[in-house]
Amino acid sequence: MTGQLSVGQAVGTSPWIVPDDLWERIEPLLPKKERRFRYPGRLPVPDRQVLCGILYVLHTDIQFEHLPQ
């Protein structure tokens, strides 16, 4: 079965880039966490960016330490 695309993969895009239509389906499933008022810590990385990073690591088989910023 050559030429078929996997779920959410568009022609000419990287497989770790999450398309808008797929993100609209995934985002409501993720928990929302409020930041603490006191000692809020560092700003969290956006969920979509984290998912793209995880998919990149799985696709390229690199270690998380070598993930580009």
Q: What is the pLDDT of residue 2?
A: 44
pTM (2 decimals)? 0.69
> How far apart are the C-alpha atoms of 32 and 47, rounded to whole Å?
10
Percentage of the chain with pLDDT > 70? 80
User: Across residues 7-20, what is the average pLDDT?
Assistant: 72
* DSSP string for residues in 5-22: --TTPPTTS-TTSPPHHH
Average pLDDT over residues 19-31: 94
pLDDT at 5: 46
Buried residues in 37-62 as b, exposed as e (16+ CB within 10 A): eeeeeeeeeeeeeebbbebbeeeeee
